[in-house]
Amino acid sequence: MGITKHLSNPHQGLTLPVWVAAAARAATQVLCGQHAENPQSLQIPGQEQSLGVPVQSAAPLHGGAQALAISRCDPGPGLDLTRDLEIWVQALWIQEEGGWLKIVPGEGIGTLGRDGDVCASDFARRLLEVNLRHLVPPGRCLQLEVVFPLGRELAQRTSNAAFGVVDGLALIGTQAEVQSSASPDQLRASLDALQVMTTASDFCGSLTLVIGENGLDLAHQLGIADQQPLLKAGNWIGPLLVASAESGVNNLLLLGYHGKLVKLAGGIFHTHHHLADGRLEVLAAIALQQGLGVDLIQDLLGAASMEEALQELQRRDWAQANRVWEAIAQAVEVRSEAYLKRYGTWSMRVGAALFDRQRHLRWFGCTGHSLIARCGLGIHSEGKEGGFDPSLR
């Protein structure tokens, strides 16, 4: 066991999967008849130093046949709706063939569609494996039911539903520490990561700038990470575009959810919603350029969300909706290149690739189409929906 770093810095926040893992480990220790450590000493994948994460309580249930542990999420400073979220994890042994762990989505946990599997990132699953696997005796299966008492309510304030996640919060996250997408510290971390990538001996001049955790996860699923470096942009897209050009990037692919990247089509290059929105207005302007009628454009402006506006476009004319979004992808490229010209003269190409709520790549600018092809990803088109389906790789 390596040195444990305790969570004593009030400016250090941890992602939701870490707090779940801490409660899960405490509950499993009690189930095994052990004392529940507090703080929990968690092993973090890819890190030598363990992390001390506090739990609120842990206790046996039903005469020791089950155990319950509770933690409380602390994401650090900044605007984060998971702050003080209670996390309950109930552990018990079950009869299950061919597996050592079963995760049951309890109240407030997001699933992939109704009655679907719990929505958890690879990092969240690896975190549970490295911290729990050694506690499970051979031939036994551990069941963990995870509950977020306020998860269903909080999920209504997120974009989870836009990605097919229902009934609660998703366990997404690719690392232990929280990186606030709007803070200067996050920009500094991204700039440092960019320097490391572009000064590596094997850097070939191509980079994918992904927007948010869903974009990062999709890029890994598609295999883009096997072809070129990935850099998570957060909301500081403009400064990272300039820094990428300055660092010698020749081909930059912007990969993100259509409801986020549409802001770039309107010239908004810091995309946090507390600073600027205007997405429906950008959509309406481009729809007007594409010849849509005034009545439809007024309906788009009155939509409650970008997803509602997209569904209205598709309901009226699927092909026309695709043309609008292809025009938006092209506008993202044009406005990005115009943004770069404000600060210097570089030869970097910027391509845009937008994915939908099913996390299928659907719309591309001309350069984005070319850069996706360079990654060896054929763009699949099936029926009227089109797009690239990662399940077909």
Identity of the highest mean pLDDT range in 111-115, 153-157, 167-171, 384-388: 167-171
Ranges 26-35, 233-242, 300-309, 384-393: which has the least confidence? 384-393
Ranges 67-81, 86-100, 173-187, 329-343: which has the least confidence? 173-187
Helix (H) or strand (E) holding 228: none
3-state secondary structure of 135: helix
Residue 167: per-residue pLDDT: 84
Count the neighbouring beta carbons within 10 Å of the beta carbon of residue 322: 18
Share of the chain above pLDDT 90, in %: 44
Beta-strand pair 206-210/251-257: parallel
Residue 12: per-residue pLDDT: 63
What CA–CA distance (Å, rounded) separates 79 from 330?
A: 32
3-state secondary structure of 188: helix
Q: CA torsion sign, 236 to 238 to 241 to 242?
A: negative
Per DSSP, 56 falls in state S
Query: 384 or 323: which carries more pLDDT confidence?
Result: 323
Residue 385: per-residue pLDDT: 41
How much is the average pLDDT of 237-263? 89
Residue 135: per-residue pLDDT: 97
Vertex 177: Cα angle to 31 and 224 (nearest 5): 105
The amino acid present at 343, given as its one-letter code, is Y
Expressed in angstroms, the distance from the first to the final Cα of the chain is 39
3-state secondary structure of 303: coil
- In this model, does residue 251 exceed pLDDT 70? yes
Residue 390: per-residue pLDDT: 38
121: left (phi over 0), alpha (psi -120 to 50) or beta: beta
Query: 34 or 170: which carries more pLDDT confidence?
Result: 34
What CA–CA distance (Å, rounded) separates 71 from 61?
A: 17
Query: 3 or 152: which carries more pLDDT confidence?
Result: 152
Q: What pTM did the predictor assign?
A: 0.58
Q: What would the pLDDT profile of 14-67 be if each residue is shown by its tens digit? A: 999 999 999 999 999 999 999 999 999 999 998 889 999 999 999 999 999 999
What CA–CA distance (Å, rounded) separates 365 from 353?
A: 7
Domains of the chain: 4-169 (3.30.2110.10), 184-392 (no CATH)
Average pLDDT over all residues of the chain:
84
Residue 185: per-residue pLDDT: 64
How much is the average pLDDT of 170-192? 73
- In this model, does residue 343 exceed pLDDT 90? no
What CA–CA distance (Å, rounded) separates 169 from 165?
A: 8
The amino acid present at 383, given as its one-letter code, is G
123 CB-near residues (< 8 Å, 6+ apart): 17, 45, 173, 174, 175
Residue 388: per-residue pLDDT: 44
Query: 58 or 233: which carries more pLDDT confidence?
Result: 58
- In this model, does residue 97 exceed pLDDT 90? no
Q: What would the pLDDT profile of 3-15 be if each residue is shown by its tens digit? A: 455 544 444 689 9
pLDDT class of 215 with cuts at 50, 70, 90: confident
Per DSSP, 37 falls in state P
What CA–CA distance (Å, rounded) separates 325 from 345?
A: 29
- In this model, does residue 275 exceed pLDDT 50? no
Cβ(341)–Cβ(334) below 8 Å: no
Alpha helices in the chain (DSSP H): 16-31, 122-132, 151-155, 184-198, 212-222, 237-246, 258-265, 279-289, 294-301, 306-316, 318-341, 366-374
* Closest by CA position to 170, among listed 226, 227, 125: 125
How much is the average pLDDT of 363-368? 94
3-state secondary structure of 323: helix
106 CB-near residues (< 8 Å, 6+ apart): 88, 90, 145, 146, 147, 148
Residue 159: per-residue pLDDT: 65
